Amino acid sequence: MTRPVVGVIGNTLLVENRYAVQMVGERNLRAVTDVAGALPLMFGAMPDVTEIGALLDVVDGVLLTGARANVHPTRFGLEADLRYEPYDDARDTLALELAQVCVARGIPVFGICRGLQEMNVAFGGSLHPEIRELPGRMNHRMPRLDNGEIHPDPAIVFADRHDVHLTRGGAFARLLGRETIRVNSLHGQGILDPGDRVVIEGVAEDGTIEAIRIADAPGFALGVQWHAEYDPQINPINRALFEAFGAALLMRRRAIKT
């Protein structure tokens, strides 16, 4: 049997401030290949060139990656604010519908960082544009130097920074074999109100929602707020997540074949 195929969503980026490109971080591609055992297939976050039905006829699952851009506030009933740019309206349009269709059709979908946020909004939830502004919350953004620049060492940027407490007996606790894990943290936006079918399964020390599943989904439908794609080759927590995603992809492919 050939390897399953994972559609990995792109992000809009302007090169030299003028050339629009679709970008996917290589760590996402390597995580899919090395740990999930699948072939990554990049697709543009452009609803005018990416038809969801045709895409899902080709892939066995979808990875909704992290991204620099925030989900646009109008997607959950708020006004846009210049302080929380950039936004990526095209990705919003595609990803929100894609998350719903994947769940409805039992196609494995794994949301990471922005991907978790997209899954929440797709099912009617809301986000806070800067989670650290809420009372009692920590700064979940990536570490910076005193001059404000992002720290140049990826090992520091992606280091585990806080605990996540998992729901006892929940999908994540069963999958990971424990109820407390430690994760990295590189986000500003975060879940405020969970969507109707969004089940909270992991919460940070400060109350920030870090792990979700979609209730009654016929297939794999999990999301994490941390960047699980960074080191699943060596990190047992992130490895278990991508392995479970890979197993779901194989199950989906075999079901289609039969």
| Residue 210 among the catalytic residues | no
Q: Residues 72, 128, 187, 227: which is the catalytic one?
A: 227
Q: Residues 118, 130, 201, 229: which is the catalytic one?
A: 229
| Residue 85 among the catalytic residues | no
Cα separation of 36 and 31, whole Å?
Answer: 7
**How close are the terminal C-alpha atoms of the chain, in Å?**
13
Q: Which amino acid is at 255?
A: A
Residue of 232, 25, 2 whose CA lies nearest to 115: 25
Cα separation of 143 and 149, whole Å?
Answer: 9
Q: Which amino acid is at 155?
A: A
Q: Residues 113, 118, 128, 210: which is the catalytic one?
A: 113
| Residue 151 among the catalytic residues | no
| Residue spans of alpha helices (H) in 88-178 | 89-105, 114-122, 154-157, 171-176
Contacts of 35 (CB under 8 A, 6+ apart): 232, 233, 238, 239, 242, 243, 246
Q: Cis bond leading into 4, ω under 30°?
A: no
3 state DSSP class of 23: strand
Contact predicate 212/201, CB 8 Å: yes
Active site (catalytic) residues: 113, 227, 229
